[in-house]
Structure 1
């Protein structure tokens, strides 16, 4: 069959796009699949697209596109849609007369056997413009029935009655559709989003870390999670909460965290993609929404072996989590209930670990392959309603399974989904006509033709070198670079690390060949054996036979092993963090210093800023009198504060706020001082104080603290600690 998905913008990033890509990729294993993007805003999709899936844009709105091929100046863009309500046509979605025109043309000419619309405006257009009887017309509801504005809901309800089927991502919402739309001929059913396992190393449950992720909007109720964490932090101050995401609620959440004194306990991490590497760092996941159409983040966390504490909200969590076995459901809108659920898993390690194992098993229900089978069964039932055994004029892709294979796969689908008839039977592809090229009609080339073909290919085509890799950090800090075998060919391949600013010769590490078909090439970066200068290092794969050198594309930078890891003893101090660059390559940030003072705790107290930390690469003498030196960047005065050496490596000091204001020396505006440590009162060696240890690359964006009495601690781009001071106001 040929299956087409209608997306508004396949070049964006969002849950609907991601779930569509996942399902399209799974269906492409047995069918021809294309994604029709109503608009195109950039050159390539922002999310990974399966190779077998084609994207077909209808309207080109890329800036800088040549005028003759651009649609940016088309006058129809300013005319209203004849089909889609204004409430669905505003803002970034923007349906208009041009979208009507292009969709109508596509739906009139397509050779698809199934067309699936993924948002209300597209569902409305599919009903109004689609060709009844030529192909199956299916709508998808990725939100909830009652969450749309009345104008959109009314138009959608009318449109659904003209489709073959409409799917909701939970069975509860499908029931709502059936209750609200009695008597329509359209099949209304629940088919969850598919969520693939990524192959990253799952959580080991060791980190004292809770992770939450999602858009920072009111429906997610992160304010409840922050309030609950005030209770958790009181009982378990060594546990931390990370909140990943961006959105309009970010400033309010930051204020709430500061007002509750939780800046040292909760980290707002910003957006992160892919998020799976961050789920795997946690021991527990938290979802506190007041409603969820499905709960994709829940399944993602479960795939990573992380049990989820989720509010029992409509509609998704209760269908995904079996409370007490693979996660916990807690009362809706109850901060105390959320805290109680989190504390249950924090304080019961065996339960937490057993739930993590069960969560990985449960998440397999949503594997793309299983959901693709469920969709095939849906197509078959709809065709059976028409009295067809297969869609007209279609051929399944080579290797499509017989009916019996698909029927047996029904047992893999969740019980709530097993209400479909058998999938459409496979049909034998039409043989190709035999020609003079030696092709016998089955696609095989014989004899001299085959030899000539192979010879020509060898002469004209070089073996590819297009490395895609993940970097995985082990519990001992050793990093393994796993290069995917596709598009990597050759012998004696080498991984090189090159300092971005020319800091010495490249470091070369041999790449070990795959040990089995499909296994990766591997290179080991031993932090005890490799000495990397401070800075950023780019990774390349080099093939000596022809001198080809290609930069490594990042699949995953798995930093789970860095959470809780300590630096190697002795001097110099060194630390590495792998990360994906903004343009998608794998890189390594290295720190290397004779000694380093790690600021473990930054705490604003009544009279001053307290810093507690650990010295690495050096030790305090028993009778040492260490000090902290504040060096101004401008014309303000330097000053020194005494430091208490708790033992040979731990230290503590407090900088009085009044001392900081006095050192302003009348300077206007905000003044900044860099902080360093001296091991003795007469030492001239400055040891930088900062935050480097751990898995977070850009501490200046995440480790934020409030202004107290005009003074704020800040971390620079290299993780070094400074304090800023604004004019003192009594």
Structure 2
């Protein structure tokens, strides 16, 4: 009699545990796991979505954990290029099968504060797709400007952030600016000076915290109808270093629908407009300027 399928009849499920360094542990149910493993060939397979070239794939060995389950580990030191990675389980020569999400312990990702380092910051957040499958959202940033509180006023946006993955954050931020780049014409740029947090050298922040204020009127001056999007970057005074502003250090894979902000009315020269911040599909921080709805005029 042949052994039952390694992962059972249905799609196998995986529990995920995240650590504060950016690593992930996957625990899979394996109802057909034999008592003696012999020549073990099971693997967790990550496939990057949307690649037009040869499929980009990362294979992690799956090993029995002694409790009837299989375990694979994705350490933070394993480079996983930015993007969305679909998760599969493979056994011997069988076609890899999609995993479905089990329990997710992502507590270590909430309010994550990475330690000092100049290596790229690895962020991986597991999530369920709209079809109920398990996928990962991966970022690899260095340097990284983590967006914090955003305060909207009738005249502009005041933002707070924290800089990671540079040798000397205080020196990097000295004279730095936040740069708004117009997406339809990247040569059009508006800047706002950065203010380092007071007492940064003595309160344990190591000079990493900063704030800035961008005025709506400066962005709306380039608006001539339709939708304008301004991408926000943190740039050094001499222009040799830059970091995309984004919100990555938590357990939310897609922030666009979660962190929403009201648009503020702007009296643009072209027509009545409105402006406000939002997070893109990649969790990067941007500002949109658009026509004010007639009912709001």
Q: In the alignment, which of 521, 527, 536 is matched to residue 70 of structure 2?
A: 521
**1:313-392 superposed matches below 5 A:** none
C-alpha distance 623-641 of structure 1, shift in aligned 2 (>3 A): closer
Q: Which of 448, 455, 463 is 2:5 aligned to?
A: 463
Cα deviation 1:75-103 (Å, max 9, x = unaligned): xxxxxxxxxxxxxxxxxxxxxxxxxxxxx
The residue aligned with 1:557 is 104
8 A Cα contact 1:509 1:523, kept in partner: yes
Structure with bigger gyration radius: 1
8 Å Cα contact 1:567/1:575 also seen in 2 = no
- Deviations along 1:146-178, one digit per CA (max 9) or x if unpaired, are xxxxxxxxxxxxxxxxxxxxxxxxxxxxxxxxx
Is 2:76 the partner of 1:511? no
1:505 deviation in Å?
A: 4.9
- After TM superposition, list the pairs within 5 Å mapping 1:435-446 onto structure 2: none
- Residue 726 of structure 1 aligns to a residue whose secondary structure is strand
**Is 1:589 matched with 2:137?**
yes
1:712 pairs, out of 269, 276, 286, with: 276
Alignment partners' CA distance in 2, 1:573 and 1:514: 29
The CA deviation string for residues 23-65 of structure 1, in whole angstroms up to 9 with x for no partner, is xxxxxxxxxxxxxxxxxxxxxxxxxxxxxxxxxxxxxxxxxxx
Count of aligned residue pairs for this structure pair: 265
8 Å Cα contact 2:220-2:289 kept in structure 1 = yes
1:684: Cα distance to partner?
4.5
Q: Contact 1:639 / 1:663 at 8 angstroms: preserved in 2? A: no
Displacement after TM superposition at 1:690 (Å): 1.5
Distance (Å, rounded) in 2 between the aligned partners of 1:511 and 1:727: 53
Q: For each residue in 1:546-591, what CA deviation from the matched residue of structure 2 results, as whole angstroms up to 9, or x when unmatched?
A: 3543222222333233112223542212211011222222211100
Higher strand share: 2
1:686 is matched with 242
For the residues of structure 1 that align with 2:144 and 2:106, how far apart are their CA atoms?
21
Q: CA deviation at 1:538?
A: 1.9
Higher relative contact order (CA closer than 8 Å, sequence separation 6+): 2
Structure 1 residues not aligned, in runs of 5+? 1-453
Deviation sequence 1:521-558 (CA, Å, 0-9, x none): 1122221x2111101112222223x3543222222333
Kindly state the Cα deviation for residue 633 of structure 1 after the two structures are TM-superposed: 2.2
Match of 1:649 in 2: 208
Cα distance in 2 for residues equivalent to 1:622 and 1:633:
25
2:125 corresponds to which of 567, 577, 602: 577
**In 2, distance between residues paired with 1:578 and 1:567?**
19
1:725 aligns with 2:289: yes
Tell me the TM-score normalised to structure 1 length. 0.34
Structure 1 residue 695 and structure 2 residue 251: aligned? yes
Task: Identify the residue that residue 270 of structure 2 maps to in structure 1.
Answer: none
Tell me, yes or no, if the aligned pair for 2:6 and 2:30 is still in contact at 8 Å.
Answer: no
Q: Give the whole-Å Cα distance in 2 for the aligned partners of 1:623 and 1:671.
A: 28
Instruction: Determine helix, strand or coil for the equivalent of 2:230.
Output: strand
What is the DSSP-based 3-state SS (H/G/I as helix, E as strand, rest coil) of the residue aligned with 1:523? strand
Counterpart CA distance in 2 for 1:623 and 1:598 is 14
- Whether the aligned pair in 1 keeps the contact of 2:7 and 2:29 (CA below 8 Å) is no
> CA 1:622–1:471 in structure 2 vs 1: closer, same or farther (change >3 Å)?
closer
Query: Counting helix residues as a fraction of each chain, which structure ranks higher?
Result: 1
Cα pair distance change 1:623/1:717, threshold 3 Å: closer
Q: Is the 8 A contact 2:21 2:114 kept in 1?
A: no
TM-score norm. by structure 2 comes to 0.79
Which residue is 2:48 aligned to? 499
Structure 2 residue runs without a partner (length 5+): 201-206, 266-273
Contact 2:45 2:96 (C-alpha < 8 Å) held by counterparts: no
* Bigger mean CA deviation after superposition, 711-720 or 570-579: 570-579
Closer/same/farther in 2, CA of residues 662 and 507 from structure 1, 3 Å limit: same
Q: Output the aligned Cα RMSD.
A: 2.7
Tell me by how many angstroms 1:484 deviates.
0.8
Q: Distance in 2 between matches of 1:623 and 1:590?
A: 26
Contact 2:23 2:124 in 1 (8 A): no
TM superposition shift of 1:513: 0.6
Distance 1:579 1:624, change over 3 A: same
Secondary structure, counterpart of 2:219 in structure 1: helix
Q: 1:542 to 1:642 in 2, by over 3 A?
A: same
Distance 1:687 1:606 in 2: 27
Alpha-carbon offset, residue 598 of structure 1: 0.9
Q: Distance in 2 between matches of 1:550 and 1:691?
A: 32
Cα separation, 1, equivalents of 2:19 and 2:185: 46
1:601 paired with 2:158, answer no
- 1:463 match: secondary structure: coil
* CA apart distance, 1:464: 4.2
